[in-house]
Amino acid sequence: MTATRKAGSPSPVRQRAGEDVARRLAAHPAVKRANIDTAQIYSYRDFLSAAQCAALVRLIDANRRPSTLLSENPDTQFRTSESCDMDRWSPDVRPTDEAIAELLGIDPSNGETMQGQRYAPGQQFRAHHDYFHEGESYYEKVIEAGGQRTWTAMIYLNEVEEGGATWFPQAGIRMAPRRGMLLAWNNMNPDGSPNLATLHEGMPVVRGTKYIITKWFRERSWLRA
């Protein structure tokens, strides 16, 4: 694989989304950019308080079901966690949901439903891209509502005794879960085409349980009027 290989088409709208959000994050005193230039990856250490994290963990425990994948995958071990949708209008969810959109400066309606994820020991989410792959059978359908995914935001809700790091093998970044820490990255290149270097995985939990929330943003409004 060469660095010039393209994973999809460029887009002025997604180029703008990359620039606008990056400018906003760069101006935020609590946000740090990872020291790499192949991808835009940012962290914010204490984005949520311990109490906010605990409340979201309780919601995940109450609503979890096996996680799913968009494309059929013969590897049954690809994503073995449990997930739940977090109702954006619920008073327990709305402040966090809106705070993420506000931090990134993205219209909340571009955000998909926030998901909670829970990984028990041995559970993982193998290396994948969050963007939609052009040419996949699901592509036309998912693009209809909101278009391509641009930014991902993720928040760790607890500390994990061992394992469960988020690893970007191509970018060379590995983040250990830390309660309250938010990670955000642009899934696109500067020209708005999908960025192969955003490949990432949720490594297997070894000891403890890992709780996170994940929020994916689209290039247009995802909510239907």
Ligand X SMILES: O=C(O)CCC(=O)C(=O)O
Q: Which residues of this chain interact with ligand X, rule CB under 6 A?
A: 117, 125, 130, 166, 200, 202, 212, 214
Q: Which does 166 bind (CB under 5 to 8 A by kind): ligand X, Fe ion, none?
A: ligand X
CB of 200 to ligand X, least distance (A): 5
CB of 12 to ligand X, least distance (A): 26
**Does 219 help bind Fe ion (rule: CB under 5 A)?**
no
Q: Which does 18 bind (CB under 5 to 8 A by kind): ligand X, Fe ion, none?
A: none
Do 64 and 120 contact (CB within 8 A), yes or no?
Answer: no
Please tell me the count of residues contacting Fe ion according to CB under 5 A. Answer: 1
Do 164 and 210 contact (CB within 8 A), yes or no?
Answer: yes
CB of 202 to ligand X, least distance (A): 2
Q: Which of 82, 97, 130, 219 binds Fe ion (CB under 5 A)?
A: 130
Do 175 and 183 contact (CB within 8 A), yes or no?
Answer: yes
Beta carbon nearer to ligand X, 52 or 214: 214
Q: Residue 167 is encoded by which pair of tokens?
A: 């690893």
CB of 126 to Fe ion, least distance (A): 10
At 111, phi and psi to the nearest 5? -85, 135
Spell out the SS3 assignment of 80-123: CCEEEEECCCCCCCHHHHHHHHHHHCCCHHHECCEEEEEECCCC
Cα–Cα–Cα angle for 70, 21, 169, rounded to 5 degrees: 50
CB of 117 to ligand X, least distance (A): 6
Q: Which does 212 bind (CB under 5 to 8 A by kind): Fe ion, ligand X, none?
A: ligand X
Q: Which does 83 bind (CB under 5 to 8 A by kind): Fe ion, ligand X, none?
A: none
- Span of 4-12, 61-69, 102-110, 128-136 interacting with Fe ion by CB under 5 A: 128-136
Do 154 and 207 contact (CB within 8 A), yes or no?
Answer: no
CB of 103 to ligand X, least distance (A): 18
What angle in degrees, to the nearest 10, is found between the helix axes of 50-63 and 94-104? 120
Beta carbon nearer to ligand X, 4 or 64: 64
Cα first-last separation, the chain:
42
**Does 201 help bind Fe ion (rule: CB under 5 A)?**
no
Q: Residue 57 is encoded by which pair of tokens?
A: 């963990």
User: Which of 123, 131, 170, 151 minimizes the C-alpha distance to 2?
Assistant: 170
Beta carbon nearer to ligand X, 19 or 112: 112
Give the interface with Fe ion as residue ranges (CB under 5 A).
130
